[in-house]
Amino acid sequence: MSVEPPGTRPPEWLQPLVDAAVLARSSDLGRWAAVPPDGARSAAVLVLFARGSVGPDLLLIERSEALRNHAGQPAFPGGAADPTDGGPTGTALREAAEEVGLDPSGVTVVALLPEMYLPPTGFVVTPVIGWWHAPSAVGVADPVEVARVERVPVAELADPANRFRVSHPSGFVGPAFAVRGMTVWGFTAGLIDWLLMLGGWALPWNADDIRQLPRRAVELASRGRAARDAQPPVERPAPADDTVAPYEPVTPYQPITPYDPGSRG
* 73-100 mean pLDDT: 96
User: In the sheet that 210-212 helps form, which strands lie side by side, from edge to edge?
Assistant: 182-184, 173-179, 163-167, 210-212
All residues at 6 or more sequence positions from 40 whose CB lies less than 8 Å from its CB, including other chains: 117, 122, 123, 124
Q: How far apart are CA 160 and CA 22, in angstroms?
A: 27
Question: Is 12-221 CATH 1.50.10.20?
Answer: no
For the stretch 121-152, pLDDT in tens is 788 999 999 999 999 999 999 999 899 999 99
Q: Name the least confident of 100-104, 227-231, 235-239.
A: 235-239
- pTM of the predicted model as reported, rounded to 2 decimal places: 0.82
For the stretch 16-41, pLDDT in tens is 999 999 999 888 877 778 677 777 89
| Mean pLDDT of the residues in the chain | 82
For 129-163, the DSSP string reads EEEESS------S-TTTEEEEEEEEHHHHH-GGGE
Backbone angles phi, psi at 111, to 5 degrees: -170, 160
* 215-242 mean pLDDT: 52
Residue 251 has pLDDT above 80, yes or no: no
pLDDT attached to residue 31:
77
* 232-240 mean pLDDT: 38
pLDDT attached to residue 40:
86
Q: Name the least confident of 30-39, 152-161, 172-181, 204-213.
A: 30-39
Q: How confident is the model at residue 241 (pLDDT cuts 50, 70, 90)?
A: very low
Cβ pair 78, 63 in contact under 8 A: no
H or E segment and range at residue 18: helix 15-23
pLDDT attached to residue 68:
65
